[in-house]
Amino acid sequence: MAKISKDQAKEEVNKWLNSKGYDEDEREGYEAVIEGLEAQFVKGKLRLEDNGDIIQTLKFPICEVESGDIIHAEIAYKPRVKVKELNRRQDQLKVKDADSKTRVGIYASSNVKDAFMDRMDPMDYRVATYIGIFLVV
């Protein structure tokens, strides 16, 4: 888990948002979320891959229930999710509010099965929501 400077974190977040097509004016109102992303990059909890994926290093890895073996210590979130996939997930998760919509983005973009995502610790889930918000707005 490599920590980076605040300036580097800001660059990484801007690079990710730019690659997703978010103009400066489209980021208005999301300053707290952007700062949250930057803080997680500084702490080394998030990193941006060359392919655009954001990798989250979990504070509390997702483990097998019976054995306790680690199943996922990291989660990769792809930068883009098709509307078809978001709609399919919305139907599965019975989305009713903004929090559920964010969860749809998190689940649809991750490399982890839903059953394992449901085991994510709330502290790790909070970090994931920073990513998920920009996948559904």
- Using DSSP bridges, classify how beta strands 70-77 and 46-48 pair: parallel, antiparallel or unpaired: unpaired
Q: How far is CA 69 from CA 2, 66, 76, 84, 107, in A?
A: 24, 8, 19, 34, 22
pTM of the model: 0.88
Mean pLDDT over residues 55-63, rounded? 95
Mean pLDDT over residues 55-74, rounded? 92
User: What confidence tens digit (pLDDT) does each residue in 66-107 have?
Assistant: 898 999 999 999 988 888 888 888 887 777 777 778 888 888
What residue has token string 């883009």?
80
Residue-level pLDDT at 50: 93
DSSP for 19-45 reads: HTT--TGGGTT-HHHHHHHHHHHHHTS
